[in-house]
Structure 1
Amino acid sequence: MTSIDPTSRTTDYTASAGVTAAQPAVAPVEVTAATATAAVPVVPRRSSGLLALGIVGIIVLSVVALFVVVYLVAGLGIDAFALGGIMALIPLAIVFFGVRWIDKWEPEPRVAVVFAFLWGAGVSVLIALIVGSEIDNVINSMGGPGPGYEFFSAAIQAPIVEEGGKGLGLLILFWAARKHFDGPVDGIVYAAWIAGGFAFTENILYFGSQLIEAGGVDASVVQIFLMRGIMSPFAHVMFTSFIGIALGLAARRTGAIGAIGFYLLGLIPAVLLHAFWNGALFFVSDFYGYYLLVQVPLFAGAVGLVIFLRRQESKLTSDRLSEYAAVGWFAPDEVAVLATPQGRRQALAWAGARGRRREMKRYIQNATKLAFARQRIITGRGRATAEADEALLLGAVVESRRAIVPPAAAPAA
């Protein structure tokens, strides 16, 4: 573990100047909790869209989710709803641990994650129910469903309506919490929470309906639980992730209006993959063979893409923190500790042995947020807010470093 001396004197060229060795130096300053934030003018924080999202959005979505719960209870009954809900918790838990792994490098704000889940479990389900009901009314007014109605409903209507509704939640998150939408990995995380919420509600409906039809738990209930809960808990996540990736790219390339185009661009593969998943069930006779030959490779490819994107985040963190190291905010060997998975594990183990794991975790998080704030400055995305965040995070980095190695213990470290 690299020694960390919070009392060391470093040269500050201002945090976001992006200086090189050729530029003139300024007088060295002692970096302390007081001087770190003073080194860069602190711009007052503007009212955050994320704050409005937390206060208003969560309340509204909770009401919508409650309405959906009442709808499910009315349609399924208490017993089927309760047992279906317990069964649906298992695939939700699988998605939860998967998303935690994806989001481990730079965790998203909890309020945004809760918003995403409630949107998926409530609003997107309500959209699907309302649109489906209106389409049924139109079809009934034209003489009732024809022989191809089931295929139309599963392979055309459902993918368009469901992915459109889930993607709308992603677009709102992009607009309201733009500073926390740094790239494709963030888009995948938000998409996974929305899709996980949608699948949770949909699974309650499927499991509960099958329980009612079977009159209890039988082979048919076990089979649908195996197919939806164990074999394909990430199906909806894979579909909606295309929209998340597209909006993650939009965060680095365009503004609020341009994001609509990226949303529509990501919607196309999301709908097509969803339609392929649903439509294939009408043509394959051996579902398990089809699953092994087609869906397993698709899932493996999705995991490979996530690993690649996570490595890109690690590289971005290393590149940006190296710029701060060049002007003295970090020791050069600290960058390897803060910007690589292996370095973080070693740092946490080192701190844990000294009873300071929480402080080390906070230090790593602050440094990572600092790297992404600088990336926003470089790309010109919300520059004024990003510079204010940078100034505050520089102070937080120094403060969290001092918590790991107090000044009195620095020589011994």
Structure 2
Amino acid sequence: MHVAASNEPDLRDRRLRSALRRNNLPLARGEDLSPPMRMLTSPWFWALLLMIALQFYCLRAAYFDVVPDRQVPGGMLIGMGTEALKPAATFAAYTVIPLSLLILWADRFRPHNFLVWLVTFGWGGTVAVFVSLRINTWAATLMSVVGDGNPAAAARPAVYIAPFVEEAAKGSVLFLIALFLRYRWVSKLSGIVLAGLSAAAFAFVENIFYYGQAYRAAARTTGAADPEEVLASYFVQRGVLTFFAHPLFTILIGIGLAISLRSKSKVVRIMAPLVGFLGAALLHMLFNGTVSMGFPPQVLLILLLAVAYPMVIALVVFIVKQLFAERTLIRSRLTDYARMGWLPESDAHWVSRLTTRVRVLWQALWEGRPISTWRMQRTLTELAYLRDAMARGLVDDAGLVREKQLLLRARRLRERAIVEPRPKTSYPWQRLRARKTETWAPPAYPGPAGLAGSYPALPVGQPSQAGYSAPQGVPLGSGATTYSPVDPRWKPPSP
């Protein structure tokens, strides 16, 4: 089953290029260029370099704001200290590594590019931290002056300022991705993963600051507990019991943006991100307020078990339901192409199953075709989501151009990719063993191997490959060997 057209659309047409840009569809240009030239001519490469430079600047500025001791008007501002940086970062990594892997696990059907993940994670750990640190410090200074030294004023920035500032800083990268890469934002899972990565990176750097300050305070205080014990205690509180806090808040922004991008209603497009942001800030405010009110540890544990953990469980259930919903969407949209005769009917079944996709990739790895198989899966998945966007009215007739490109690419990849799983995985050592078996000599008559044959005898009257046949009456088995009579007069020749 093939596509009727054989040539891809001419992307040199200015109107066609404008229509693709209007719908945020990829131009698919530069495929005839070498990878280095394709990278250097891509505007996204230079945007990535600019983003990395910005993140390094913010990380350096945040480091000098928090880590070293600084001379300020009126005295010395004690930082967390360089000696506390390594143990604090180690304990913070114990949380962020498994949390990030768990978040990425949800991005299964249409995962973003690795560089998008990297930029999102870097933004949350550098730019969002830098902006939040500066604005929260400035707001805390103002509230301290207004409060005239009132100790209760110290909790005001954490409750009334930090939630809005931090959620806006973490979520700003989501709005940038939605603005420039909205075509790749295909489901609520996309928003959940990107928001979770930004929040996990933010929590990672924030935990380093908290762990480091507690470590150095214990080390500089006479008679205080061991710094390692203090660090372990803080790790249990922030890295184990409340590790979910920042991702849980920011994911609401990601879900709101996802709803906005997949809707035609202008009201929904405006209200969904706003409601998501306000919901994230409200949850953050309630969390900070609960911690700042000085409840006993037993009360805080009850609140976690009764309120926070059920919300986390509900989020996990929501993610699992979304995975099944995306599976149904891909199967139904690819079935549309199968009914038109442009794709085999089996594609809709196999590509929509996560376990089958992993199994096919595993088999392709051992057969030397993992890249083409992976590209085939991504092409068919993108085709399904493009069809869904066209059915929703999110993409106009320019989507037909991208649709044709994807169908042609799938036809080219089908020759060297694996779409359907094999009945059994073929490992290299099994193929080598099969080749060795095929090189063995076939049975031949007469005699054992090495003496004009490799088999003792044939059934009566059955010819061998060499043309011999067993005579009538020759028995099989050990009795098949007969000896000719010996002449008693025979002797060696005389000298």
TM-score range, shorter-chain basis? 0.7 to 0.9
Larger RCO of the pair (alpha carbons < 8 Å, separation 6+):
1
* Equivalent in 279, 282, 289 of residue 279 of structure 1: 289
TM-score (structure 1 length as normaliser)? 0.82
Match status 1:172 vs 2:182? no
Mapped contact 2:144–2:153 kept (Cα < 8 A): no
Change beyond 3 A, Cα 1:322–1:279: same
Cα deviation for residue 202 of structure 1 reads: 0.3
Tell me: CA distance 1:328–1:128, structure 2 relative to 1, closer, same or farther (3 Å).
same
AA of the residue aligned to 1:126: F
Superposition deviation, residue 338 in structure 1: 0.2
Greater alpha carbon shift after TM alignment, 202-211 vs 250-259: 250-259
Distance 1:160 1:52, change over 3 A: same
SS in 1 for 2:276: helix
Match of 2:243 in 1: 233
Cα distance change on mapping 1:258 and 1:292 into 2, 3 Å: closer
- 1:62 corresponds to which letter in structure 2? F
1:271–1:58 CA distance, 2 compared to 1 (3 A):
same
Q: Residue 92 of structure 2 aligns to which amino acid in structure 1?
A: A
Aligned amino acid, residue 98 of structure 1: L
Partner of 1:401: 414
1:51-90 Cα offsets, whole Å, 9 max, x none, are: 6642433332332223223333323222212221222112
Residue of structure 1 equivalent to 2:388: 375
Shift of 1:376: 2.5
Matched, 1:89 2:93: yes
Task: Tell me if 1:117 matches 2:93.
Answer: no
Q: Kindly tell me: are residues 94 and 113 of structure 1, through their superposed partners in 2, closer, same or farther at Cα, counting changes over 3 Å?
A: same
Partner residue, 1:345: 358
Q: Say which SS state the counterpart of residue 255 (structure 2) adopts.
A: helix
The one-letter amino acid paired with 1:136 is A
Q: 1:91 to 1:325 in 2, by over 3 A?
A: same
Corresponding residue of 1:298: 311
The answer on whether the counterparts of 2:131 and 2:169 sit within 8 Å (CA) in structure 1 is yes
Per-residue Cα deviation, 1:359-406 (whole angstroms, up to 9, x for no partner): 322221221122122222333334466444333322332232221269
Alignment gaps of 5+ in structure 2: 27-42, 69-78, 220-225, 420-495
What is the SS of the residue equivalent to 2:415?
Answer: helix
Change (3 A) 1:205 1:385: farther
Q: Say which one has the larger Rg.
A: 2
The CA deviation string for residues 335-363 of structure 1, in whole angstroms up to 9 with x for no partner, is: 11001223323433443453434432222
Corresponding position of 1:18: none
TM-aligned CA deviation for residue 226 of structure 1: 1.4
Paired residues in the alignment total 375
Distance 1:201 1:241 in 2: 18
Deviation at 1:246, TM superposition (A): 0.3
Residues 6-85 of structure 1 mapped to structure 2, 5 A cutoff:
9-10=1-2, 12=3, 29=4, 35=6, 38=8, 43-44=16-17, 46=21, 53-74=47-68, 75-85=79-89
- Percent identity (aligned): 24
Instruction: Report deviation, 1:140.
Output: 3.8
**Matched residues in 2 for 1:95 and 1:250: separation?**
26
- Cα pair 1:58 1:114 within 8 Å, conserved: no
User: For residues 270 and 44 of structure 2, what CA distance do their matches in structure 1 show?
Assistant: 19
Q: Tell me if the contact between 2:372 and 2:417 (Cα under 8 Å) persists in the aligned partners.
A: yes
Kindly report which structure 2 residues correspond to 1:293-372, keeping only aligned pairs within 5 A, or say none.
293-372=306-385
Partners of 2:140 and 2:157 within 8 A in 1: no
Q: Deviations over 1:301-360 (max 9, x none)?
A: 110011112222212211211111112232112211001223323433443453434432
Q: Could you tell me which amino acid in structure 1 is paired with residue 95 of structure 2? A: P
Counterpart for residue 196 of structure 1: 200
Q: 1:213 to 1:145 in 2, by over 3 A?
A: same
User: Any idea what SS the aligned residue of 1:274 has?
Assistant: helix
2:147 aligned with 1:152, yes or no?
no
Aligned twin of 1:246 = 256
- Structure 2 distance, partners of 1:70, 1:327, is 62
Structure 2: how far apart are the matches of 1:318 and 1:41? 30
Letter in 2 for 1:204: I
Answer whether contact 2:144 2:150 (CA < 8 A) is retained: no
Q: Write out per-residue CA displacement over residues 129-188 of structure 1, whole angstroms, 9 at most, x where no aligned residue.
A: 121122123224335342422432333222122112212222122112211222211111
The aligned amino acid for 1:230 is V
Which residue type is aligned with residue 67 of structure 2? V
- State the partner residue of 1:409: none
Q: Distance in 2 between matches of 1:114 and 1:323?
A: 35
Secondary structure of the 1:218 match is helix
| CA contact 1:112–1:177 (8 Å) conserved in 2 | no
Q: Matches of 1:255 and 1:113 in 2, distance apart?
A: 29
Q: CA deviation at 1:300?
A: 0.7
* Aligned CA-pair RMSD: 2.8
**Which secondary structure state, in structure 2, belongs to the residue aligned with residue 107 of structure 1?**
coil
Q: 1:51 to 1:393 in 2, by over 3 A?
A: farther
The residue number in structure 2 matching 1:26 is: none
Question: What is the TM-score normalised by the length of structure 2?
Answer: 0.69
Q: Distance in 2 between matches of 1:159 and 1:231?
A: 20
